[in-house]
Structure 1
Amino acid sequence: MTMEGLMVSARSCNRLRTKIKGSLLRQKKNQRQITKGNHSHHTRNGGRFKEHLCKHTKRFGRRRCNNNVYGGGSNNLVIGNFTRQVYDAICTHLKGNNTLHIPEDNVQNILNELQLYPSKAQVSKMLQCAKRYNKNGASDSITFGEFCVFIREMQNQPPIHHRKTSIHKANNKFKSNFQVFLGGSCNPTTWRADTAIPELQKHGISFYNPQVSMWAPELVEQEFNAKQTASLLLFVIDSQTRSTVGMIEVAYLVASGRCVVIVAQPFKKNQTIMGETITDEEYIDLVEGQTCLLHLVKSRGVKIHSDLPSALQCTANFFKNASTSNATPEDQITHKLKRLRQEYDSYGGQVSVDKVLETCRRLTNRKVEAEEVKHYLNGSQPGGATALPFDRYLTLMAELDGCDMCSSEVWAKTTNNNSCDPHNDARLERPLTSTASTTTNGTSSPRYDVFLGGSTRSRVDWRRDVAIPKLKVHGLRYYNPTIRETGGHEGGRAAIGDADVSEWREAIDESRVLMFAIGDDTRSLATMVLAAHHLATAPERVVLCVQHLAADKPCLVHGEVMTKNAVKDYNRARVYLTDLAHRRQVKVFEDIAEAVQEAINKSLR
């Protein structure tokens, strides 16, 4: 049911972006005669954009509009993932017509298809603003760049707008008014009752506490619904517990675009967890899992808090800013377009790459690197020119102005950064396929067919004995992350670091299929974190093999017998990861040979 006047929140917008990205990847598969089931994840308003887009894809196929957007001509406006996704979504509606100028009569319908539901009056005001500030625009249409800005700003609306106008229809059995979900470490920790809950109550912020004295089966659905509907998720990953499930959960939620405030505390050698002293081997595995998690979330611009009071202050500021913002959504969009026009004109109408960097830093408080901007322009800006026409300038700013953050203030008043801290200079994740070659029709050719992720210290070398021989038979290219494991420091094993995770991410970005194998003789925490992250961003590319640790007999890992508590913690993480995969309709294998064959089948499609 369409709800006129509704603007989706930053949280819902990131779900939408994930939906669009997943749908477009499935469109490519449809060209290879692949049929996949649609995911039934809903935006907050209850729409099913993915299913709608897939329906158009089946009917019309993947459309190429008549303005040669991908071809590198003078009208080339698509420069990155976001603008490419918007372009393809528009094409499904216009059925191949020119997208450089979108007719006014089509704007409302296209926004609705993107699960954005501004009222007719709001759309009218935005269109009037576009005419006012685009000196060369047509009278009965808006440009592609203006449309990208509209979508970005509607995505960046604070949650207060939808809380006043929407009802969470997807959860009829559980009406949630909770603003914050308190996730992360549970027993024996007491951070919720001792610190978090009193502080939230002081600020009048409602919360859901999943830590209960008496657990009941019906709490599973209640906790899931509270997590889905909360505006902000506060997660504490401390060292009193192994936090295996918490790490996987945070990796998935951040990659899904949810607003997550994170507290992380480092593990220490020879520390105790649940009364048990951890071994050096487990210490390294825990550090690797946490290193992988922190690298992934920082790459998306999310700040990591080292203490709970700082995170609680960030949470309070988020809701304070949301509640004091009196500007209407259309006013914010109008003001944003005005500011962009003023910035553009202040440079004499010619904006170089350096000026883009300056403008982005000033207006969004983002630390944007020159290479990031050049990446968006390489291969699409004719002749290596550095000056940009206004509409291309709008397109670039929309591409850079991501909503992977907890944005809650009006853009005109402050910033649009990726955390609650305006001093956070963590950069957003770089766009995918940054070094992949591009074909003449605009599609990316991956460097690798299969990324062989997973356990690196298993007793069975499944890569050498099973995967690589089969891949070679089919002439498939692969990336083997164990090639870096040439031996640790003398006297002990070296833990993976940021450089390793960064290298893996680059290889993942350049791979067609992502295989993650969690063996029954390894803890595999870092692998599970990586897998959860990519179940959120690209489930259609993931092949997952999960083997559980032995619980009914001594479990040997890296030459050590694991305690019963440790086995429970790491198996609980495996169960949670498997559940995530099922929710994203990703099949989970137990046999490594079957998983390898599935990766091969995906690569050959």
Structure 2
Amino acid sequence: MFKALVVGCDGGCQSVQVLAAVVKVVVVVLLLLVLVLLPVHEMLHVAREVSPGDTAAHLLTFGEFCLFATELRQCYDRETPRPPLLSKLSDKSCSEKKRSERKMSTESLPKYEVFLGGSCNPTTWRQTVAIPMLKDHGISFYNPQVLHWEEALVEVEYQAKQTASVLFFVLDHNTRNVSSMVEAAYLAGRRRKLVIVVDSYTGPGQLINGEPISEQEYQDLTSGLNTVQDLVERQGIPVFAEINHALNCTAKILRDNIHPQDLGTEDQVQPIKYPYLQLGDKLIQVHDAFVNTNSEPEQITLADARVAYKVVTNKELTTEELQNIVAFKKGIEVEDLNGTELPLNEISLSFDEFCCIVAEFKNHHLESRRLWDILSHSLQKVIGWALPRRPLRPLTSSGGRDLYLGGSLGSRVTWREQIAIPLLLKHGLSYFNPAAGACSGRLLPMEAVLMEHSRVLLFVITDNTRGVSAMAMASHYIGLGCNVVLCIQMLTEDSLVNGEQLSRLALKDYNRGRSYLTDQANKDGIPVFSDIQEAVECAINKVASSR
């Protein structure tokens, strides 16, 4: 599509065509951002890790973008299916659970169209925004936020939640949202019709229940919201930022009997197609081939690039393709190389140029010979993302692991090294340890795939962490029907989180989330322990029985 850039065209004609091409590529970038938020984030994160030197300002080069776009297009063309969950429980157990839910729904009356879940006191979004709009649309609803609560309402609320056509959840920044995050993540896993509004926290010092939150608590709560958003979007469910917009889409879901995943750009919703695609590993593979085939960290000869290309694609660069590369680098016409020996050892390529070559020739698309030269400087900083720069080298074997060591992370969390890993090595079991790699603050698709390629998922929520993200993750995979083992330790008045003493209200909020997760696990038949070693031993036994 960029063929016009490399044919003979001089003066103003060439400038106009170059400008048009730049605009076109920028539009493509923006469309990609709209369509595949999780793969874009993953690609950006990995791009920072493979960039040479200490380039903290590195964002996304044109070559990396070309590689990303090519891989993405191939996934779309192939209509890449969602990968299976190795930890998925048997169809029989999942069918029994669904039959139980259907039985519950037929016996439950009345049936509300919308369940208004999420943040409660001191928020007023139900009374001031949601309920008036639902009444205007003639939509029935159940409001769990009541003035006078009593024990009998527990069952009424549960029945309303089970039978509602749409579950409308708002995560309001005026509360910690711990239980709501855990619940929303579970419901997304159950693939219910979930409409969710995420209201970001404003920053350290923001008041919750009259108490300013610290920098660390702000990071933990924000990480929890990001995890929930990534889990929800991984199911193709859009996340809203504004309640009125979400309510209008809820009315359409009910009116047209569609799912939230069916909403599109005409609804001013960002469609999330193939959210499970993992693209970051492609860039890692290209980078590893680049650095392992040559001794120079930032340059590679064309002769070595020829070998690295074969490693990545399992194909040979053709003579025609090599001629085009040499002609471009020397600034001559391809015809001038006919009948001559190509100076492959005299031509040097950067990693960015090597990415372009892989993207360009992997499927023999020969029309864009000089893309990286014409557009790289214009597009160097089109996309920006604030990500930590830490080594990222996830295990990429597709064979699967026996156990995923999930749960609380942090420098003071040592149960993996001190308890779990020695026991696993003793039993000769393989594992994936998320604490051993980098944490981007988001659930990257390739990290999720490694988790989902484990037979048993162990989540340990320790009593020295807030554990918001970990609880949401565990809840989601319970909802998906995976083989999960939990260890949940309640916080006490003596608990310190990174040296911080929790207030009485904070302690109540974080323990409420732990209690909700425990109750939900018990309902789903998931074993829950408070002792870490007992939980690890249970997980080991589950691995043995799943083989």
2:530 to 590, 595, 605: 590
Per the normalisation by structure 1, the TM-score is: 0.53
What pairs up with 1:64-83 in 2 under 5 angstroms?
none
Give the equivalent residue in structure 1 for 2:360: none
Per the normalisation by structure 2, the TM-score is: 0.59
Q: Is the 8 A contact 1:450 1:511 kept in 2?
A: yes
Give the equivalent residue in structure 2 for 1:251: 185
Mapped pair 1:169 → 2:102: no
Change (3 A) 1:477 1:24: closer
Mapped pair 1:476 → 2:429: yes
Give the equivalent residue in structure 2 for 1:547: 489
Give the equivalent residue in structure 2 for 1:235: 169
1:46 to 94, 98, 103: 103
Give the equivalent residue in structure 1 for 2:194: 260
Residue 178 of structure 1: how far off its partner (Å): 1.1
2:456 counterpart SS class: strand
Mapped pair 1:199 → 2:152: no
Deviations 1:144-173 (A, max 9, x none): xxxxxxxxxxxxxxxxxxxxxxxx4333xx
The separation in 1 between residues aligned to 2:265 and 2:522, in whole angstroms, is 30
Q: Is the 8 A contact 1:248 1:532 kept in 2?
A: yes
Mapped pair 1:504 → 2:504: no
Change (3 A) 1:560 1:21: closer
1:597 counterpart SS class: helix
Residue 38 of structure 1: how far off its partner (Å): 8.2
Change (3 A) 1:431 1:513: farther
Q: Is the 8 A contact 1:299 1:429 kept in 2?
A: yes
Residue 233 of structure 1: how far off its partner (Å): 0.9
What pairs up with 1:123-522 in 2 under 5 angstroms?
168-171=105-108, 175-269=109-203, 270-322=205-257, 405-406=259-260, 416-417=262-263, 421=267, 423-430=269-276, 446-457=399-410, 459-485=412-438, 496-498=440-442, 500-522=443-465
Give the equivalent residue in structure 1 for 2:287: none
Q: Is the 8 A contact 1:300 1:427 kept in 2?
A: no
After superposition, the CA RMSD in angstroms is 3.0
Change (3 A) 1:237 1:45: closer
The separation in 2 between residues aligned to 1:37 and 1:43, in whole angstroms, is 10
Change (3 A) 1:571 1:458: farther
Residue 429 of structure 1: how far off its partner (Å): 4.4
Q: Is the 8 A contact 2:406 2:433 kept in 1?
A: yes
Residue 39 of structure 1: how far off its partner (Å): 4.6
Extract unaligned runs of 5+ from structure 1. Answer: 1-19, 31-35, 48-167, 323-402, 408-415, 436-443, 486-494
Return the letter of the residue paired with 2:144.
P
Give the equivalent residue in structure 2 for 1:387: none
Residue 231 of structure 1: how far off its partner (Å): 0.4
Change (3 A) 1:574 1:423: closer
1:557 to 466, 479, 497: 497
The separation in 2 between residues aligned to 1:472 and 1:558, in whole angstroms, is 30
Extract unaligned runs of 5+ from structure 2. Answer: 1-83, 282-396
The separation in 2 between residues aligned to 1:251 and 1:474, in whole angstroms, is 33
Deviations 1:293-348 (A, max 9, x none): 101111211111111111111112222324xxxxxxxxxxxxxxxxxxxxxxxxxx
Give the equivalent residue in structure 2 for 1:523: 466
Return the letter of the residue paired with 1:554.
D
Residue 576 of structure 1: how far off its partner (Å): 0.4
The separation in 2 between residues aligned to 1:601 and 1:44, in whole angstroms, is 29
The separation in 2 between residues aligned to 1:311 and 1:295, in whole angstroms, is 18
The separation in 2 between residues aligned to 1:23 and 1:288, in whole angstroms, is 25
Deviations 1:557-602 (A, max 9, x none): 1100011111100000000001111111011011000111111111
Greater shift, 287-296 or 312-321, is seen at: 312-321
Q: Is the 8 A contact 1:185 1:237 kept in 2?
A: yes
Q: Is the 8 A contact 1:406 1:419 kept in 2?
A: no
Change (3 A) 1:185 1:24: closer
The separation in 2 between residues aligned to 1:455 and 1:301, in whole angstroms, is 26
What pairs up with 1:15-54 in 2 under 5 angstroms?
25-26=89-90, 39-42=96-99, 46=103
Residue 554 of structure 1: how far off its partner (Å): 3.2
Mapped pair 1:567 → 2:502: no
